[in-house]
Chain A
């Protein structure tokens, strides 16, 4: 039994050696730090979004108020568009009342005149349709150029914003990984200290048990010697009683009982 107790005491002593005192509040502080890191990360990303949002606003404002108006003023004078537009415009504005119809040098009379004018009216209607289509074709291409310019200026802004956010998030991730490892270590150290403190508290009892056992073992030897002595019986009994009383006192003292 003593050998077992000694082994236990030795093992625990080895385990508890080298321990550093770490209050459990360090783990709580580490968790608070975790939260702060997350908040800082979000804050940084918000600032980045704010900055690049402003850049995008500047681009859109520039396109809407400067680039598009100047471009359109040039685009309306596009040679091909102008040619088709002028032709369609003149034709679509022809009125029957402005036409004088002659045939072989003589003014054409009704109903032939009416037939010719109806034909002209139909052609004018068709030309109005062409005018509409000309304007539509031009508008679509003009809008396409404006959209293209806008995207050309916005694309690098989106790309750089993504790159910056990725870098910031990457750096914070490194920080969180490190913080996580430190928190894990602190938690393990706090846990180990708590368990060791428990063992140390129980060690106090073990030590007492060990001391009591030593007293009992010693008393046993002495009592045996007394019983085996060749002194007279009365003396033996007196010695035995005295030794027993002493043993009781010693046991109490070994167990930490300070009362008499």
Chain B
């Protein structure tokens, strides 16, 4: 416990400088809401991202399949060309 209680003097100072203190404040709620970016609905965003990722996954699978088909066709080609 402090020997001298100076809270009363601090409060008097606040009162005397209240006009300046009021201007030092941060932005009000409505001002902040106008400035902040509007967030996308998170559920909708996650659903869309999943759908796109799933399509990308399908494309990657098809790319692998195409690659394998390319290998098969080369083998068939070589055998058939020998026969011809």
Residues of A that sit less than 8 Å from B by CB: 1, 4-5, 8, 11-12, 15, 55, 58-59, 62, 66-67, 70-71, 74-75, 78, 80-81, 137-138, 140-142, 144-145, 148-149, 153, 156-157, 160, 163-164, 167-168, 170-171, 174, 177-178, 181-182, 184-185, 187-189, 191-192, 194-196, 198-199, 202-203, 205-206, 209, 212-213, 216, 251, 255
Which residues 46-84 in B have Cβ within 8 Å of A in the complex? 48-49, 52-53, 55-57, 59-60, 62-67, 69-70, 72-74, 76-77, 80-81, 84
Does any Cβ of A come within 8 Å of B39's Cβ? Answer: yes
A31–chain B nearest beta-carbon distance, Å: 15
List chain B positions with a Cβ less than 8 A from chain A: 2-7, 9-10, 12-14, 16-17, 20-21, 24-27, 32, 35-40, 42, 45, 48-49, 52-53, 55-57, 59-60, 62-67, 69-70, 72-74, 76-77, 80-81, 84
A81 to B3, CA, bound (A): 9
Closest Cβ of chain A to B23, distance in Å, is 9
List, sorted by A's number, 10 A–B pairs whose CB atoms are closer than 8 Å: A15-B65, A15-B69, A62-B24, A67-B17, A74-B12, A160-B27, A170-B39, A184-B56, A185-B53, A188-B63
